[in-house]
Amino acid sequence: MESRRLDLGWMRIFAEIGKTGSLSAAASVLGLTQPAVSYQIRRLEEQLGVSLLKRQHRGVELTPEGQRLLDVVAKSVSDIDELARRFRNEADRPIIRLRTDYAFSALWLIPRMHAFRALYPNV
């Protein structure tokens, strides 16, 4: 029987806990409550069948399994955040909109677009 897929939203929460070493600090960074973060991590641990954190009086410590997961998750979350930044930067580039009739655009403008993009790659 195939197990249910993990909710990847939990991975951002887990990565933030690994980074801050605290459920409360992670909750603050993510705009969540500490009980909500704790609940999500307990659900993640249940789904994985391993304990990821050692809860201590002040903060948390990763178990060996938690450290293994963090090694993968932290890089993945960082890579996704970087790609999202690039997408946003590309979306912020200048846009030119032209309205023209079919003959002008098909016979004159479109054949010249390749040369224009070579000269102005950010537009």
Secondary structure of the chain as H, E, C letters: CCCCCCCCHHHHHHHHHHHHCCHHHHHHHHCCCHHHHHHHHHHHHHHHCCCCEEECCCCEEECHHHHHHHHHHHHHHHHHHHHHHHHHHHHCCCCCCCCCCHHHHHHHHHHHHHHHHHHCCCC
- pLDDT tens digits, one per residue of 83-112: 999 888 877 777 778 888 888 888 899 899
Cα–Cα distance, 81 to 32 (Å, whole number): 19
Instruction: Outline which parts of the chain fall under CATH 1.10.10.10.
Output: 9-91
Cα–Cα distance, 13 to 40 (Å, whole number): 8
The pTM is what? 0.68
| CATH placement of domain 9-91 | 1.10.10.10
- pLDDT tens digits, one per residue of 56-82: 888 899 999 999 999 999 999 999 999
